[in-house]
Structure 1
Amino acid sequence: MHDTLLVVLTVGILFVVLAIALVLLPRLLREKEKPQRVTEMDMMLASFQTMGSELKALKEQLVVKERLAALGEVSAGIAHEFRNPMSVISGYARLLLKSLPAEDDRRELAEGILQEIGSMNGVMTELLSFSRSEPIQKTSVPVQALLIETMRGFPDRQRIHSAETGTLQCAGDATLLRQALKNLAQNALEAGARDVWLRAASGEMSGKKGVWLTVQDNGPGLDEAGQEKIFTPFYTTKADGTGIGLALVQKIVLAHGGTITVESRKGEGALFRIFLPSDGA
């Protein structure tokens, strides 16, 4: 009798526990699913926000590319129209210089004409460089060699500094990338910077893997208005500037599928950041 009562009590307790489990378990499962659903919803919203940001960036890049392409055509036309009469003027100035005796004061005038024609030719060369839209021939570029070769293009190399990048590689056209870095460094020096630093590191942007190239200087810096216009073709703050150098840098970066931004404050130098995505990223 005692054993029977014990069995009955045990079975009763088991039924009570089972009943409680049947009542509470669905509620607990529902409570557990809520954070998961919230997490999934957050992930979905984050994905849509990322897509929206990428679409906005692509739209802005497309607008910039179209504007640069139109300006490139205009630049090419201007360069060709000016170069023909410039060649004629240069030819007559050289003939005049040859016909004048060494002690003739008019030689200085002829030499001045040739010097100005030389400066104009430099501007025309920049215009033609800006107008070209040749396809990018991407290869695997050793970043360390890219930075070193960029430094070699400056007579005063002590003012250009680069960091060790090891075996880091980037996908791109070495000649065009070197020109972009050189233009950024040259612009900084001409603006009054004492030193320029070239750096590189692997990284990501909007989920894409690639390489960050940075050019930093300790020059006079830019205000907000200057930062907004810095890549605008023909915008310059220098008396003898053409406003093409940085526009060409932006064109080269966009042709590589990359992005370029500037961070600066007046009196605190500037930092240009270039992101080059890896092929297939």
Structure 2
Amino acid sequence: MNDVLLTPDMLPFPYFMVDRELNILLQTDCVKHKFPIAHNFLELVDASSREKIIDDFTKLDSIHKLELHLHTRKKKAALFEIYIHCQSSNQIHLFCIDKESQMESFQTQVSGLECNFINVTHSLLEEKIMLEQSIEQLQQSVIEHENLATVGKLAASIAHEIRNPLTSVRGFVQLLRPHLLEIGKEHYADVAISELDRANDIIYEFLNTSKPSAPTLEQVSIVSVVEEVMLLCQSESLLNNCYFEYRRPDNDIWLCIDPKQIKQVLLNLIHNAMDAVKESVNRNHGVIMIDIRHLHSRVEIVIADNGSGINQENMQKIFAPFYTTKKKGTGVGLAVCQRIIEDHNGKIDVHSQLGRGTSFTITLPCLTSIN
């Protein structure tokens, strides 16, 4: 599915972003077809309405609306309904609806936006899942104290880049909701706002990565956990021309672990194995071998691939936070895995041969509590 981004140019009416002095910072393409060229919004306001807008902007607070006569390219002042949304101390959003001619056209356009709202909702859900996975990884990355400053900068950067556009989109949806209500489609706005709020909650959790959570332990079958992860990865493995070679133990094995965190480790290692296969000469017939071994008081889970392998220089750094050889990697995945396994009183080892493949071995204690 292609992501659908809600942008001002998708709105069926003129939109301006202005500062507190009403200087125009941004405007949609339809503005140039509707209004004469102007650098300040007051240049478009008819003399009969200027006093009203000046008075209103001196007491501007959050969201409200007013009616103004604006000059158009037809050299005639038309009556517009102006929706005003104050996002910050220096950014004000103005949505201009021509009461005389555009309401019918607007409702037609809203119908066309229904599909976009549905796609935006699905897109936000996918982004939410990705952000949740990033949160779980980044919560563990603070194990290296010298990287705490880097984590803080990364968190601030992502929060700034994601939260601000989400706030703008939420404002657009809120302003469109009354018109959706008129045609009985307000539930699309409600769903979009709900998903945006959930995304903001995820970002809030992301900003608290300096407080990694301890494992929530319960007795679970490690065989069931491994098989559930394999099922989740089955379709992706087929798309990447990989197949699983699974060696199941004769008897079930019960461990005292946090199943959510262990699943995170297994998913990360399997995805890494798929990436390694895609980069190797075996990319058309990749194999990911998963072996569960019961060795007295401990269990070993081996995840091996016939991918590109890792050279000795990189082998010394792969568990270091923020170290990665992938173009789009963050370098926190394996550091997170190591932290989780160590929190379970276990260990994770790696063996690799360049051009032949890589093998990760996770060792966990059987039915022991973690202090």
**Residue of structure 2 aligned with 1:230, choices 318, 323, 328:** 318
Q: Say which structure is richer in strand.
A: 2
**Residue of structure 2 aligned with 1:263, choices 327, 339, 351:** 351
SS at match of 2:159: helix
Kindly indicate whether the alpha-carbon contact (under 8 Å) linking 2:265 and 2:340 is maintained by their aligned counterparts in 1: yes
Q: Which runs of 5+ in 1 are unaligned?
A: 1-63, 96-120
Alpha-carbon offset, residue 162 of structure 1: 2.2
Q: Say which structure is richer in helix.
A: 1
2:327 corresponds to: 239
Alpha-carbon offset, residue 92 of structure 1: 8.1
Residues 139-160 of structure 1 show CA distances to partners (whole Å, capped at 9, x for unaligned) of: 2221211111011111245523
Note the 1:82-97 alignment, pairs <5 A.
Answer: 82-88=161-167
TM-score (normalised: structure 2): 0.44
1:214 corresponds to: 302
TM-score (normalised: structure 1): 0.57
SS at match of 1:199: strand
Residue type of the alignment partner of 2:345: G
2:180 corresponds to: none
Percent identical across equivalent pairs?
A: 27
Q: Structure 1 residues 227 and 125, CA, compared in 2 at 3 Å: closer, same or farther? A: farther
Kindly indicate whether the alpha-carbon contact (under 8 Å) linking 2:144 and 2:321 is maintained by their aligned counterparts in 1: no
Residue type of the alignment partner of 2:262: L
1:253 corresponds to: 341
Q: Which runs of 5+ in 2 are unaligned?
A: 1-141, 175-199, 279-285
Kindly indicate whether the alpha-carbon contact (under 8 Å) linking 1:76 and 1:131 is maintained by their aligned counterparts in 2: no
Q: Structure 1 residues 211 and 268, CA, compared in 2 at 3 Å: closer, same or farther? A: same
Kindly indicate whether the alpha-carbon contact (under 8 Å) linking 1:79 and 1:127 is maintained by their aligned counterparts in 2: no
Which structure has more relative contact order (CA 8 Å, sep 6+)? It is 1
Residue type of the alignment partner of 1:189: M
How far apart in 1 are the matches of 2:229 and 2:158?
27
How far apart in 1 are the matches of 2:360 and 2:163?
37
SS at match of 1:263: strand
Note the 1:50-69 alignment, pairs <5 A.
Answer: 65-67=143-145
Residue type of the alignment partner of 1:234: F
1:24 corresponds to: none
Residue type of the alignment partner of 2:364: L
1:140 corresponds to: 219
1:160 corresponds to: 244
Q: Structure 1 residues 89 and 272, CA, compared in 2 at 3 Å: closer, same or farther? A: farther
